[in-house]
Amino acid sequence: VIGSHDILVAVIDTGIDYTHPDLIANYVPLGYDFVNMDDDPLDDHGHGTHCAGIIAAKLNNYIGVAGLAQVRIMAEKGLDSTGSGSFSSLAKSIIHATNSGANILSNSWGGDYDSRLLSEAIDYATAKGVLVFAAAGNHDPNEQFNPNYPAFYDSVVAVSSIESSNKLSSFSNYGSYIDVAAPGSSIYSTM
């Protein structure tokens, strides 16, 4: 079963290479670049494009890979060319995506510290009926029990990473706040 084009997923990350031949058919230009403060959320790192491909790379076009959901995607650039960003730019991305009509927010990033600003942005999105997913975190083995934000918030679906053998990926956080595990090691995509 594939997803519906009625669903809009905001990839809140380093942007998306929306010119990629495997993404262009499912991309909608509704996002914003909160790093450079312009309306061009083009990916200058690669992580956002990788995540976008897992979600919505075109099916049956004989190019690259096929995305799992086949939904529409939009880019909210809250992370810079090094893959880093502030909770402020990420909170703005969450609010902008929500106001732009996103049904789902994909957040494959996180941090070790709670942020009232980030928490309030997540609360805003969920109050509007938006489903929010976030990565459990990629910490060293001695810190895998530590919470990762925004995944640690109760209203967020926290996703840990598993290998092809269904075992926890060596880098993935885990703990009682995890809601679901998904393949996350050696995943091919649009990068």
What secondary structure does DSSP assign to 97-113, as a single string? Answer: HHHTT-SEEEE---BSS
Per-residue pLDDT reduced to its tens digit, 75-124: 999 999 999 999 999 999 999 999 999 999 999 999 989 999 999 999 99
Q: Do 43 and 17 meet the contact criterion of CB atoms below 8 Å apart?
A: yes
The structure's pTM equals: 0.95
The token pair at 137 is 């975190």
Predicted local distance difference test score (pLDDT) of residue 143? 61
pLDDT band at 140 (very low <50, low <70, confident <90, very high): low
> What single letter denotes the amino acid at residue 22?
D
